[in-house]
Structure 1
Amino acid sequence: MKKRILIAPLNWGLGHSARCIPLINALIAHHFEPIIASDGAALLLLEKEFPELQTIALPSYGVSYPKKGHHFKLKLFQNSPKLMKAITAEKKATASIIKAFNIDGIISDNRLGVHSKEVPCVFVTHQLQVLSGNTTWLSTKLHQKIIRRFNECWVPDNLGDHNLSGVLGHVNMHEMPIKYIGPLSRFEKKTTPMKFDVLVLLSGPEPQRTLLEGKLLNDFKNFNGKVVFVMGRVEKQQHISEEKHITIYNYLTSKELEKVINESALIVARSGYTTIMDLTKLSKKAFFIPTPGQFEQEYLAKRLTDLGYAPSCNQGDFNLEKLTVISEYKGLNAMDYDVNYKKLFHLF
Structure 2
Amino acid sequence: MRALDGVRILDLTRLLPGAYATLLLADLGADVIKVEDPRGGDHARRMPPLADGTSVYFQVLNRNKRSVTLDLRSGEAGPVLDALLSTCDVMVDSFRPRTAVRLGLDSTALRARHPRLICASISGFGHTGPYADRAAHDINYEGLVGLLTPRHGEPRVPPLLVADIGAAMHAAAGILAALFQRERTGQGAFVEISIHEAALSWMLFPGAPALVGGAHDDHGEVPLTGEAACYTVYATADDQYLALGALEPKFWTGFCERIGRPDLASRQAAPGGDRARVLADVRAVMRTRTRDEWLAVFADADVCLTPVRTLAEALTDPHLAERGAIVRAGGVTCLGAHRLDIRPAPALGADTDAVLEEAGVKVAERQRLRRCGVL
TM-score in terms of structure 1 length: 0.32
Q: Could you say which structure has the greater relative contact order, defined with CA pairs below 8 angstroms and 6 or more residues apart?
A: 2
Structure with higher Rg: it is: 2
TM-score in terms of structure 2 length: 0.30
